Amino acid sequence: MKKYNVAVVGAGVVGIEMLRVLKQRNFPINRLKVFARSARDIEVDGEIYPVEPISPEGFNGIDIALFAGTEGEKGAAVTYAAEAVKRGAVVIDNGADFRMDPKVPLVVPEVNGNDVKKHKGIIANPNCSTIQMVVALWPIHKKVGIKRIIVTTLQASSGAGKGAVEQLKEENSIIAAAGFNSVYAKIEKLSMPQQLAYNVFPHIGGFAESDYTSEEWKLVKETHKIMHDNKIKISATTVRVPVRTGHSESVYIETAKPITPAKVRALLAKAPGIIIMDDPKSNLYPMPRDAEGKDETFVGRIRRDCFVKNGLWLWVVADNLRKGAATNAVQIAECVISK
């Protein structure tokens, strides 16, 4: 088997997860480099990885460069992706810089893996909340067509980076130390726009067109691009919740042709990357704790709308650091070397 020289750009939560996923999936690596803005060593699952300062010359000889696109590495892809491509690497970028570029494929392997063939050196990894939604909806769309999507996401703190996870932890500690006499926790440094402990807030990204946030528009525009169908009517509300890792989504769809919940369950059960957890009588449905550390997208609460003929509800959960970021990027790399 041919082996490849791989670079991981970023040593934050997503970069670390990329290193973990590469090892767990036995990606055929000849030589591995880790880049960040400054040199240091990081430990992942007991293994030490030396981190090199990022530079254009560092990409010499690299075949695949995975850009984590988070925390201190924001903007790294804009600065260094072209340099990596110029030196012969295929760049897979987890950030938002190239997602809507018409020349750059936006790929979820279970949905549009063949789009990697269209790359001109750069392939974009979609937003975490988009990835799990399209994995769950694509088999339905192929079978009966989807006319409309209304989605509310319940997104974990880790989706906002390490600082947001630390904020949630610190807020919980303050409230617990006060004997839960108050639900307010004032801390000096906020990574998120509001307190998250014992709270939820509908604000992820900046507010943009028509008072939808940038995260909400990502669900619209990225889904259209990935599914090659901009006629689907999509409306989203994105909510931050006090969960460490694992995004949940309440997804409502209207299909072009009728399909029963039973047929949806059977369809999704056979689809790649999906696990059905849907037994209301046994209180069985996906939860973030079930998805953490796993690569699959979990689907449950599949039920029809009692008032709309072709309306259906689904509950979709996935690990936002793995399938929502690192795992999807590595799967794209697997598509690249297979094709």
- Going along 73-145, which residue ranges are E strands? 90-93, 122-124
Buried residues in 46-76 as b, exposed as e (16+ CB within 10 A): eeebebeebeeebbeebbbbbbbbbbbbbeb
Sheet arrangement for strand 297-304: 233-240, 146-155, 247-255, 311-318, 297-304, 274-276
Which residue out of 119, 141, 247, 335 is catalytically annotated?
247
Instruction: Quote the tokens at residue 3.
Output: 């082996």
Q: Is 335 a known active-site residue?
A: no
Burial of 187 (0-12, 13-18, 19+ CB in 10 A): middle
Classified as helix, coil or strand, 208 is coil
Q: Is 200 in a helix, a strand, or coil?
A: coil
Sign of CA dihedral 14, 238, 93, 331: positive
Q: Which of 128, 141, 203, 335 is catalytic?
A: 128
What residues are labeled active site? 128, 247
